[in-house]
Amino acid sequence: MSKPSYLIHGTNKPASIGLNASNGCLRLYPENVKMLYDDTPLKTPVVIVNQPYLIGQDNGVLYLEAHKPQEGSGALELERIYAKLKAMEKKGARTLDWKKIKNVQVEARGIPIPIEMSQGDGEEAEKPIEVEHPVKLYGKPEVPELKSDAWYVLAAKMRDEIEALRIAAIINHQGPPIPARVLSKSDGHRVIAGPFDDINAAKDAVKRLKIDLEIDGILIEPEKKI
């Protein structure tokens, strides 16, 4: 893209929405970017912030949304959000579910989750809004089956399975996509890209992983036939 700025645009890979799989632009579902275009006047200012934790209310229900913090920003932001939640709990005489708050923070799924305990006072409380997800994610890349006679690339070794799945998803949503999957063993989780038909295709994937994602891939040769 030749424009010296970040863009807000739709995507032909809607399964990548919400993933850190972009080179900087902000991607929306095609139907949502049309709504934004129709409702937003020209020259409307946009502020991009590093805000991994968000709090909001809807119909009296308190929600927390957590994203994976950027490097070096997590501890301070988490301290701020905990202090704010404690102040809200004290001021509003409401009981928060701190175990759920911790889980939301650790999972960092990027969707709003209700975090209040049930009041149990006999009154009918407002029901949290359920976030709807499509039954099928159109545009989601299909990963080919494993083949013993193909080349592969070891992209990462992770202790955390969620982080391994996140990296595999990011690799899958490159353009053009690089097939990747997570293989789990007792000592951790491996992100494997492939299969590739020959060494040149595998080397090209290693090059793209390095340039696009700063991942140092390691070539895995096909199994030798006996």
Same-domain check for residues 41 and 5? yes
pLDDT tens digits along 59-112:
888 899 998 887 666 788 888 899 999 998 888 777 899 999 999 988 888 888
Place of tokens 């007792």: 186
Residue 141 placed within a domain? no
Assign 220 a pLDDT band (cuts: 50, 70, 90).
very high
The length of the chain is 226
Q: Which of 65, 66, 21 is nearest to 167 (CA)?
A: 21
> Are 60 and 52 a contacting pair, CB within 8 Å?
no
| CA 58 distance to own-chain centroid | 24
Same-domain check for residues 24 and 72? no
Cα dist from 168 to 22, 23, 155, 162, 191, whole Å: 14, 16, 9, 10, 6
Q: What mean pLDDT value characterizes the chain?
A: 83
The residue among 52 and 177 whose pLDDT is bigger is: 52
| List of residues 6+ apart from 126 with CB closer than 8 A | 59, 60, 61
Residue 42 has pLDDT above 80, yes or no: yes
Q: Which of 208, 222, 138, 149 is nearest to 179 (CA)?
A: 208
Residue 225 placed within a domain? no
Q: Tell me, what's the pLDDT at 132? A: 66
Residue 35 placed within a domain? yes
pLDDT over 70, % of the chain: 82
CATH number of the domain residue 199 falls in: 3.30.70.1070
- Cis amide prior to 176 (ω within 30 degrees): yes
Q: Tell me, what's the pLDDT at 30? A: 82
Same-domain check for residues 70 and 39? no
**Which of 11-15, 40-44, 106-110, 179-183 shows the lowest mean pLDDT across its residues?**
11-15
Residue 164 placed within a domain? yes
Strands (E), 3-140: 8-9, 26-27, 53-58, 61-66, 113-114
Mean pLDDT of 173-186: 86
Same-domain check for residues 15 and 44? yes
Assign 150 a pLDDT band (cuts: 50, 70, 90).
very high
- Please state, in angstroms and rounded to a whole number, the distance separating the CA atoms of residues 157 and 186: 12
> Are 149 and 221 a contacting pair, CB within 8 Å?
no
Residue 141 has pLDDT above 50, yes or no: yes
What DSSP line would sit under 124-165, residue for residue?
A: -PPPPPPPP--SS-TTPPPPPPP-TTSEEEEEEEES-HHHHH
Residue 21 has pLDDT above 70, yes or no: no
pLDDT tens digits along 114-133:
998 765 444 444 566 666 66
Mean pLDDT of 164-186: 86
Structural domain containing residue 62: 53-114
Tokens for 127, please give them.
């029901």
Flag whether the pTM goes above 0.75: no
Residue 144 placed within a domain? no
Specify which of 109-113, 146-150, 162-166 reaches the highest per-range mean pLDDT.
146-150
Same-domain check for residues 74 and 98? yes
Count of structural domains within the chain: 3
